[in-house]
Structure 1
């Protein structure tokens, strides 16, 4: 009926579902149509040509259908004229067999009987009450669904935040490892640079010493003086006699000097071999290249035996001149 269709459309139901409900219930009223919509709201709407109406084309067809339906439900069509069908299990009265069949499918009841009670049409007030009940049921259902959706959204947000925290933690750990790695690489670069500078400076000093000796020899040859051997002159120098090496062989011409350098603060000693013509500053540079705790400009060097503390002026003298050849033990203090 046009009035029932308009009412259902005004309630917000989809037009296709309204057409399906009205056709499936044979246009037998607002309540059957609403019941059909609620019962089938999760099902897709079928093609209208596949939906068979529950009502016949005329009164005779309705009577035949009602009689057949009653027989299938075990209800005898005898006695007084039946105006309705009653469910023996719940007492509800239905206008025709289509509504009784729909009730049987929905409730599972299977015991019906004829009734002489006439099903009255709903008044406008009753329609409004039914409409209000239906809307309340729909609102309650939407409310429950909204709560469920909110809980699902909260759970998903918690999972997203946890995943974000885990990713942030991993990034921070990687960043910290990278910083430590870069710091270690800078430290190694600094030590390598210090070693390279110490080696270059020692080589420069050795070359300078060699050039000076060569120039002295050439000058002596030009002046007709005898050429003095560098090792012999070093053995005759007062510095060597006043500070002989621990091995007692400072007078010999050793080209290299083996050194063991110990830190005054303790720890593993360092060993190296330098040219005997290298200045004492080369020892300081070697130590600075091994540890960041030592500064070339402030480090102090000394010997325990014979006991001696080297002055800053001694840093320009060669290991040979200081009597440290062929080997010696040096104590370094930062």
Structure 2
């Protein structure tokens, strides 16, 4: 059985090769979990599905947990424990181990997806809260403008009433002045006629 790699595991989980290669490269090939996090955070990137060309000397898909150890030049310098560890690291995964690993990765991906959905839900709640707050602010501004407009109209009506009252008072004052002037003229005419009558009467009596 061929040795399982991080690239193979990601592709078996349903990620495209381009996304898997790009995620492993950008996370420094530090494991499937880091690669999954990177894919979920950058899935909206415009170049996420473009083929990734790795730098020279960089091998995509190598899983750090399954890298083989290069034996030292002197075999006698290798302790027995390291020799057994090297043999274990070279041993390919059994089908059961592979399935178990896939289950863990799928569960991890499910949890990451759930965390992302919760985060997006919370962000949506915050956006809705901000939208309502903005709407309330606009409503308050609108109400203030309406109140100011009503106040302005009320002051305009009050000023018009005052001006109308003053105009009526001016008319009444003019009427009163005209009446007084007419009365004065009538009185003056009466006085003149009285004087004229006395003068004429006195002259007639003498003759």
Instruction: Structure 1: state its 5+ residue gaps.
Output: 24-32, 55-62, 87-92, 96-118, 218-225, 231-334
How far apart are 1:182 and its partner, in Å?
Answer: 1.9
In 1, Cα distance between the equivalents of 2:102 and 2:14? 12
Please, what is the CA RMSD of the aligned residues?
4.7
Alignment of 1:6-45 (within 5 A): 8-9=10-11, 11-19=13-21, 36-40=31-35, 41-42=37-38
For residues 23 and 86 of structure 2, the distance between their equivalents in structure 1, rounded to whole angstroms, comes to 21
Q: TM-score, normalised by structure 1?
A: 0.39
3-state DSSP of counterpart to 2:124: helix
**Does the C-alpha gap of structure 1 residues 8 and 39 become closer, same or farther in structure 2, counting only changes over 3 Å?**
closer
Q: Tell me the distance in 1 between the aligned counterparts of 2:73 and 2:131.
A: 58
Q: Deviation at 1:139?
A: 0.7
User: Partner of 2:111 in structure 1?
Assistant: 140
More helix by share: 2
Distance 1:169 1:133 in 2: 53
CA contact (8 A) 2:23 2:38 kept: no
Q: Where in structure 2 are the equivalents of 1:188-203 lying within 5 Å?
A: 188-203=159-174
Shift of the alpha carbon at 1:173? 3.1
1:50 to 2:56 alignment = yes
Describe how 1:250-329 pairs up with structure 2 within 5 A.
none
- Aligned pairs for 1:239-254 (under 5 A) are none
One of 139, 163, 167 as aligned partner of 2:134: 163
Q: Corresponding residue for 2:195?
A: none
Cα 1:21/1:197, change in 2 over 3 Å: closer
Larger radius of gyration: 1
Unaligned segments of structure 2, at least 5 residues:
43-47, 61-67, 193-207
Which protein is richer in strand relative to its size? Answer: 1
Count of matched residue positions in the alignment of Structure 1 and Structure 2: 171
Higher relative contact order (CA 8 A, sep 6+): 2
